[in-house]
Structures are given as C-alpha cells and as structure tokens.
C-alpha cells in the first residue's frame, strides 16, 4: 500500500516537473518572440494545448503583428517627413515624447557640425542647452511661446543664436504620445550685428557727451554772468567752446563718411591717375601746412608703376588720415616717409612709416576698430575721433585692397595698404 502511494506520488511529481519545464520553455519562447517581434509558432509551445497557452499564443501574435505594423507605419511617416523636410534651408528636429531624436535634417547638422548620427539619441546628450530643453517641455505642455530666441554655447567661446519655433504633432495611428517638431533658424549674424549697433550707439553717445557738456557749461556761465566775467576769461571760455565745437564737427564728419562707406552702395568713382604724382602731391600739400612744418616728410615713388584707376578723393582721405596720425602721434622733428614699395602679384603696396613712439603689440589687432584708441586722452587732446583708421580700412576694402600695420614700441610704426592694379576706370 505504502509502495503504491509512493509510486503514485513520484508519478505526480514527475508529471508536474515535466509541465513546469514545458511552461518555462514556453515563457522563454514568448519572451524571444516579443523581443524579436516574430510571431510565436505552434511548435514553440510543445504539449501545452488546452492549457490556455494557445489563447495566449494567439493574443501575443496579434499584439506582435500590430506592433510591427505600427513600427512600419512610424518608419513610413518618418521617411515621408524626412523626404519633405530633409532638404529644407531651415533646420528641423523631431523628438518623441521621451526626447529621443526621430528626425534631424541636413541644415541642423550644418548648424551643429558635431551632431552627427544623432537619430535615436536623447536630445539632452546632443544639444546641451538648459533653456532649449525647458522650451521643449513647455511646447509639449502647450505653454511655450510660438517663437523663442535661444543661445547655444559651444566650446569655450563661440555661441550660436537660434530662433526656435516648436509645435506638437498630434498622435497618429496609435502612437501613444505626440511628437514635437522644432524649426531652428540661425540668427547668430543678426545678433552680432545688433550687438555691434548697440556698441556703436553707446560709443557715439559717449563721444558726443563730453564736448556737449563742456560747451553747455561754458555757454551757461557766459549767459548767466554777462558782465562779471573778465575779458581774458571770456576769451578763454570762447576758445574752449570753439575747440569742442570743432571736435563735434570732426566727429560728425567722420561718422557721415563712415556711414556712407558702410551703406549698401558706397559708390566708388574711379579715375585713371599717375600714381606717383598723386601721392607726391599730397606730401607737398602737407609740407606747406603748418601741421607738417615741424616734421621731415619724404616721398619715394616707383617709376615702373603705370597709371592706376582709383577713386582719388577717397584715396586722398586714406593717405591724409595716415599722415594726420603720423603727425599727431610722433614728436616734432620725426621722420615720416611715404613709399611706394613694390608692384608684384598684380598689386601696388604703399607704406607710410614713422619713427615715433610705436604702438604696443596688444593694441595692434584692434587698431582698425571704430573708436579704438591706444591712449584715449592723447587722441582726444590731439583732436582724434577714433574713426580715422576705420575709415582707412573701409576705403581700401572698397578698392579690393588690404591694409595692415607693423609697429615696435620706441622704434616707430608702418602702415601698409595694397591696391590691386587696375588700369582703366
């Protein structure tokens, strides 16, 4: 009896074990099928018929087929979007509800060259901008502004400004959550121009403020106390007013010249002139002026140069600005030489050299910027506006030439400009 009971128990245990192994096998097959999105076959579920597994098998196969279908639909939609948006000039980015990148067109990669092979990556790992990620969330919640200007800082110095417009794409064909689409427009150039313009306005206001407040102060004193001011002081006040009025005048003149040069059509009126005579006439004119009297002015031309087609008025201004600076910033008795250096590779090079105090190395890269001065006080005292070299640069660039400077402290400064050889106007 006991033996029969033991045998029956062993048999039941054996059957249960076999069932357990079969279930384990079925679970593994189901797991694999879901992972690989491959329908489950009847053979994958051995000897389990009638145990509910068949139903489960049919149900999972239906789900797998539907998921595969949705996946294909999604890829189809993305391919369609890619074909439409891929070649747009504007950068386009689509992310899913978990911030995984679904689409990034070529234009986006031209803005962020390091963002290659980013499909399937998380947005946070590709575009490191907290503001942008905040905007993505806001668009998703429906609280984002339609357009947003965002600065992306890449590396240590360069930053890119983008105007970003974000919209959600409604969930389609069973997609669980909506995607979000962004159009990114590069506005870095405009932003830089805006900053330059702001800087410029601030500089001009600053330059105008000092002479105006001096003039205002002296005029008020003269008006308020007509009889009490001794004649000597009155004359001194008037002289100061005159000096500051002249300063305002030079500033306005230089600003007008600059604005004309920077306009869309600055106009260049070429005439064919004998270049050596053109330059030596300017030097002769300066020798006759009181300002040029205390300096040694010399000219060295190059006979091999044919007549050149230049804008004589504008180039006179270039040489005059350089000569004025040489006279202003070098002590009396200094040597100032205007030389036509050589004619090679289709260009003429002109050099204006002085043996004055020179310009510190750190200032040299900025010397052609508007309002840049090495010594602000000295420049203003000498009637400088800080715009002379900027005007020089513009005029030379209008002639398709180059301008540069070499200088050593205590030894002197040499300004060079080149002009492409053009024989007819």
- The Cα 134–Cα 142 span in angstroms is 12
Least distance from ligand ADP to the Cβ atom of residue 372, Å: 6
Task: Indicate whether 379 belongs to the interface with ligand ADP (CB under 6 A).
Answer: yes
Provide the mask over 273-312, with x wherever binding to ligand ADP is found by CB under 6 A and - wherever it is not. Answer: ----------------------------------------
DSSP 8-state assignment for residue 176: S
Decide if 176 contacts 74 (C-beta within 8 A). no
Q: From the CB of 382, what's the least distance to ligand ADP, in Å?
A: 7
Q: Single out the residue of 180, 334, 355, 413 in contact with ligand ADP (rule: CB under 6 A).
A: 413
Strands (E), 179-255: 179-186
Strands (DSSP E) contained in 68-227 are 91-95, 101-104, 147-153, 159-169, 179-186
Cβ nearer to ligand ADP, comparing 74 with 402: 402
Q: Smallest distance from the beta carbon of 405 to ligand ADP, in angstroms?
A: 8
For ligand ADP, the closer CB: 53 or 417: 417
From 92-100, 152-160, 227-235, 379-387, give the range in contact with ligand ADP by CB under 6 A.
379-387
Residue 215 CB, nearest approach to ligand ADP (Å): 20
Contact flag: residue 385 with ligand ADP (CB under 6 A): yes
Q: Rank residues 165 and 317 by Cβ distance to ligand ADP and give the closer one.
A: 317
Q: Residues 339-358 vs ligand ADP: string with x where CB under 6 A?
A: ---------------x-x--
Q: What share of the chain is helix, strand, coil (3-state, %, to 5)?
A: 50, 20, 30
Q: Please, what is the minimum distance in Å from the beta carbon of residue 179 to ligand ADP? A: 55
How far apart CA 416 and CA 222 sit, in angstroms, is 48
Q: Are strands 147-153 and 159-169 parallel, antiparallel or unpaired?
A: antiparallel
Which is nearer to ligand ADP, 91 or 389 (by Cβ)? 389
Judged by CB under 6 A, the residue of 329, 337, 416, 419 near ligand ADP is 329
Which residue's CB is nearer to ligand ADP, number 8 or number 252? 252
In whole angstroms, what is the distance from residue 301 CA to residue 276 CA?
5
The 10 Å Cβ neighbour count of residue 153 is 11
Binding mask 135-164 for ligand ADP (x = CB under 6 A): ------------------------------
Which residues are 181's β-sheet partners? Answer: 94, 167
If you count them, how many residues does the chain have?
425
Residue of 127, 384, 403, 417 that binds ligand ADP (CB under 6 A): 384
**Least distance in angstroms from the C-beta of 312 to ligand ADP:** 21
CA–CA dist 255, 264 (Å, integer): 16
Determine the Cα–Cα distance for residues 197 and 21; give it in Å rounded to an integer.
79
How far apart are alpha carbons 197 and 301 in whole angstroms? 40
- Of 99 and 317, nearer to ligand ADP (C-beta) is 317
- Listed in sequence order, the DSSP H helices in 263-330 are 275-288, 290-293, 312-329
DSSP three-state, residue 132? helix
**Pair of tokens at residue 78:** 């993305």
> Shortest approach of ligand ADP to residue 267 CB, angstroms?
23
Residue with tokens 């590779």: 345
Cβ distance to ligand ADP smaller for residue 57 or 367: 367
Which stretch, 26-34, 165-173, 338-346, 384-392, contacts ligand ADP (CB under 6 A)? 384-392
Q: Is 174 left (phi over 0), alpha (psi -120 to 50) or beta?
A: left
**Stretch (H or E) spanning 252:** helix 231-262
The stretch among 72-80, 146-154, 164-172, 383-391 that binds ligand ADP (CB under 6 A) is 383-391
Nearer to ligand ADP, 325 or 418 (CB): 325
Distance CA 361, CA 373 (A): 13
Question: CA–CA separation, 242 vs 235, rounded Å?
Answer: 10
Site residues for ligand ADP per CB under 6 A: 321, 325-326, 329, 354, 356, 359, 367, 372-375, 379, 384-390, 413
């Amino acid at each position: 009896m006991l033996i029969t009971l033991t045998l029956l128990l062993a048999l039941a245990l054996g059957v249960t074990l076999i069932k357990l192994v079969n279930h384990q096998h079925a679970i593994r097959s189901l797991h694999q099928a879901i992972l690989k999105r491959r329908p489950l076959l009847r053979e994958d579920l051995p000897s389990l018929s009638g145990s509910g597994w068949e139903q489960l098998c049919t149900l999972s196969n239906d789900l797998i087929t539907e998921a595969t279908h949705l996946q294909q639909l999604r890829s189809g939609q993305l391919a369609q979007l890619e074909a439409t948006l891929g070649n747009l000039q504007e950068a386009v980015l689509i992310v899913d509800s978990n911030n995984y990148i679904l689409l990034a067109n070529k234009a986006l990669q031209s803005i962020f060259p390091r963002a290659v092979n980013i499909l399937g990556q998380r947005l946070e790992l590709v575009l490191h901008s907290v503001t942008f990620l905040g905007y993505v969330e806001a668009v998703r919640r429906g609280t984002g502004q339609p357009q947003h200007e965002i600065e992306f800082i890449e590396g240590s110095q360069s930053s890119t400004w983008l105007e970003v417009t974000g919209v959600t794409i409604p969930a389609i064909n069973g997609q669980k959550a909506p995607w979000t689409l962004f159009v990114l427009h590069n506005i870095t150039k405009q932003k830089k121009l805006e900053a330059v313009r702001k800087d410029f306005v601030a500089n001009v206001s600053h330059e105008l403020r000092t002479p105006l407040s001096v003039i205002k102060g002296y005029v008020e004193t003269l008006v308020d106390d007509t009889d009490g001011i001794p004649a000597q002081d009155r004359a001194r006040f008037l002289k100061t007013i005159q000096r500051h009025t002249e300063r305002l005048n030079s500033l306005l003149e230089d600003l007008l010249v600059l604005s004309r040069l920077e306009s869309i059509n600055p106009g260049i009126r070429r005439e064919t002139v004998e270049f050596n005579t053109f330059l030596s006439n300017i030097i002769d004119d300066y020798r006759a002026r009181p300002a040029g009297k205390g300096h040694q002015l010399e000219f060295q031309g190059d006979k091999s140069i044919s007549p050149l087609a230049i804008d004589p008025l504008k180039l006179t201004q270039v040489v005059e600005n350089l000569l004025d600076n040489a006279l202003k910033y070098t002590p009396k008795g200094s040597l100032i030489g205007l030389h036509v250096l050589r004619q090679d590779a289709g260009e003429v090079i002109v050099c204006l050299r002085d043996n004055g105090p020179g310009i510190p190395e750190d200032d040299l890269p900025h010397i052609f910027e508007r309002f840049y001065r090495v010594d602000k006080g000295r420049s203003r005292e000498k009637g400088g506006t800080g715009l002379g070299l900027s005007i020089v640069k513009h005029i030379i660039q209008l002639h398709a030439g180059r301008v540069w400077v070499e200088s050593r402290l205590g030894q002197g400064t040499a300004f060079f400009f080149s002009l492409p050889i053009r024989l007819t106007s």
